[in-house]
Amino acid sequence: MFKEFKQFLLRGNVVDLAVGIVIGVAFGAVVTALVTDLVTPIIAALIGKPDFSGLSFTINRSEFLYGDFINVLIAFAAIAAAVFFFVVRPMNALTQRARKEPPVDPTTMKCPECLSEIPLDARRCAFCTSLVSQN
């Protein structure tokens, strides 16, 4: 049973997933610090409120901390933008380059009379029966 568990843990996709999660958490912490320490003060300089986390309102003695929510939304938008521009777009560009196939030699040509697709070796069009010159 221990051998199976060890084999499960050492499979490539489990290790890759664990590494991805750890890097994702670290990346999230970096972006959260960026938003808290740099972006929020810049926005606060424009709006005039230095820290969004203190924003709240009270209804029936229940306090709603919407300022924290604003900070989290800014952090989410920053993480989403970073992932899109630094991971998704480059990966899409790489896969699109890899998919490009070299141009293939044509096997058909257009009939000069009716513009139908006919084989290159044809001497007569199958659609309009006109003679086709061989180039």
Domain boundaries, the chain: 2-99, 105-135
Please indicate, yes or no, whether the overall pTM of this predicted structure exceeds 0.75. Answer: no
β-strand pairing of 62-64 with 57-59: antiparallel
CB 72 within 8 A of CB 28: no
pLDDT tens across 46-85, in order? 877 666 778 888 999 898 888 888 878 877 887 788 778 8
> In this predicted model, what pLDDT tens digit does every residue of 84-110 receive, in sequence order?
888 789 888 888 888 877 777 788 889
- Name the CATH topology of 2-99: 1.10.1200
Tokens coding 73: 């939304």
Provide the angle, in degrees to the nearest 10, between the axes of the packed helices 40-47 and 66-83.
120
Reply yes or no on whether the pLDDT at 42 is more than 70. yes
- 25 touches 60 (CB < 8 A): no
- Mark 55-82 as b/e (b = at least 16 C-beta within 10 Å): eeeeeeeeeeeebeebbeebbeebbeee
